[in-house]
Amino acid sequence: MMENTGIAPKHSWGQLLVVSSLIFGMFFGSGNLIFPVHLGQMAGANWFLAALGFTISGSLFPLLAIMAVVVTKSDGLLDLARPVGKHYAAIFLILVHLTIGPFFATPRTAATAYEMAAEPFIPKSFSTVGMLLFTGIFFAVTYVAATHQSALLKIVGKYLNVGFLTLLAIVFLVAFINPMGRLSQTPTATYQANATIGGLLEGYNTLDAVALLALSVTLVHAIRGLGYQGRELTKLTAKAGLISISLEVVIYFGLVLLGALSMSQLKLSANGGVALSQIVGHYFSNVGTVLLGALVTLGVLTTAIGLVSSFAQDFHKLFPKVSYLAWLRVTTILSFLVANAGLDTIISWSLPVLMLMYPLALALILLSLTVAKRSYAGLVYKVTIAFTVLPAVLDMLNSAPAIITGWAPIQTALSLYHQLIPFAGMGLGWLVPTLLGFGLSLVWGHLRLISQRGQLPERDR
């Protein structure tokens, strides 16, 4: 470990780029590839505004999540949410890790890789067996990588991302030199009037803002392993985060543009995986299938490693009697089982959960970056989250299956919600209540502080 001499340690460009690659690789996975392409197809001529919204939720929010963990010096998601209350922090940690872990995001990595890399070469009669074998190997590799945490920086930063970015660059180069058509397609209804908001909500599907609250734990441990502490750790993380996020923004705009251009020759696809497969197949024929499969597998494997590692670390902290390796086995096995339900099923299950988790995660990021170090932070945390929970639950119910939304009391509640709360009809009903709770509690806390100081003897003020 570096000695605390008071002199700022110098980091090389090599270290900066490796950490940037680690940040990029730990959250750029299956959703980050398939959702922007489908967004481009839906947005058509309004692709730029849609891409702008997508980058806000898919790039800016994750960067702020990283900085929230670093700035507050939290040793995990449990510490980050603790000012709200220890019980809330524990519940929030469990919900986040189940969402980005074995219930949704982690299985989605393997399911996406299978559908693009293996399924095209496997007869339908052997699809079930093929899925079992592929996901079994996928999670075996993930488990082995996650058990060697000291090598995580090297595995993710130096090898997997290099291959992923090289393959993606080839696709972009060929596609933009010889575009499939013009940007003149009529957007779908959602993207005709509110393309930016539509893109922002589509970015929820990446799960990155929620995931980075948890993944940043692994990131901070890796940077500390290089010898950085305190302010230097914060500076290095901020610089590396900006580099990785900038790269991601370029990729997002490229993928959205790729999808928009494809509509001159393709029909609107069922999902981004189908769209990306068709586009790559158009340019590379049979070789394109192999290229796409390798690209997706490399991308999602890095994400899976980060997800299972952070799950095991935080659950070991919450339940210390169960070892890190035991939790690692739990999440890996559960992810393997859920992955075999298939990509379509996983995506359909995830939407209501996303509408609940994103408002709570964004509120926590806001609080961490603004009031975490103030004496009345606990008050602001509690009130802001209290104002956020109800609209988040209503957004979740609004996205739930018809068997739930068809119940009369829920229909009535949702109708009132959409009528009374600004932006509720757009899926952003949490925004005004959250900001209102934040503002009111901030003023309240400041007034309490002034009052307390006024009651002290003059020499103690």
Give the amino acid at 315: F
Residue 223 CA to residue 239 CA, distance in Å, equals 13
Query: What pTM was estimated for this model as a whole?
Result: 0.84
Residue 240 CA to residue 235 CA, distance in Å, equals 8
* Sign of the CA dihedral running 38, 109, 105, 135: positive
As to burial, measured by CB atoms within 10 angstroms (0-12 exposed, 13-18 middle, 19+ buried), residue 410 is middle
CA 336 to chain centre: 20
Alpha helices in 124-189 (DSSP H): 127-147, 152-154, 161-177
Query: How far is the CA of 197 from the CAs of 364, 372, 389, in angstroms?
Result: 21, 29, 21
The residues, ordered by sequence, that sit 6+ positions from 453 with a Cβ below 8 Å of its Cβ are: 461
The residues, ordered by sequence, that sit 6+ positions from 131 with a Cβ below 8 Å of its Cβ are: 114, 119, 339, 340, 342
Q: What is the pLDDT of residue 433?
A: 96
> Which secondary structure element, helix H or strand E, spans residue 83, and what is its range?
none
Residue 311 CA to residue 313 CA, distance in Å, equals 6
Q: Which two tokens stand for residue 87?
A: 């019980």
The angle at the Cα of 97, spanning 83 to 359, to the nearest 5 degrees, equals 60
Residue 38 CA to residue 275 CA, distance in Å, equals 7
Per-residue pLDDT of the chain (461 residues; tens, 9 = 90+): 444 444 445 557 777 887 887 777 666 766 788 899 999 999 999 999 999 999 999 999 988 998 898 888 887 788 899 999 999 999 998 898 889 889 988 998 898 888 888 887 888 888 889 999 999 999 999 998 888 755 555 555 556 667 667 778 888 999 899 998 888 888 998 899 889 999 999 999 888 888 888 777 767 777 777 777 777 877 888 888 888 888 899 999 999 999 999 998 888 887 787 788 888 888 888 787 787 787 788 778 877 887 888 788 878 888 899 999 999 999 999 999 999 988 778 877 888 888 999 999 999 999 999 998 888 999 999 999 999 999 999 999 988 877 777 788 888 899 999 999 999 988 899 999 999 999 999 999 988 888 776 665 555 45
Q: Which two tokens stand for residue 235?
A: 């500076």
Q: Which two tokens stand for residue 427?
A: 């899926």
Q: Which of 426, 424, 425 is CA-nearest to residue 434?
A: 424
3-state helix, strand, coil in the chain (%, to 5): 80, 0, 20
Q: DSSP string spanning 358-378? A: HHHHHHHHHHHHHTTTSTTHH
Query: How far is the CA of 265 from the CAs of 39, 51, 60, 422, 442, in angstroms?
Result: 16, 21, 33, 39, 54
The angle at the Cα of 333, spanning 327 to 335, to the nearest 5 degrees, equals 100
Report which DSSP code applies to 7.
S
Q: DSSP string spanning 178-224? A: S-SS-S-PPPPTHHHH-HHHHHHHHHGGG-HHHHHHHHHHHHHHHHH
Residue 157 CA to residue 145 CA, distance in Å, equals 13
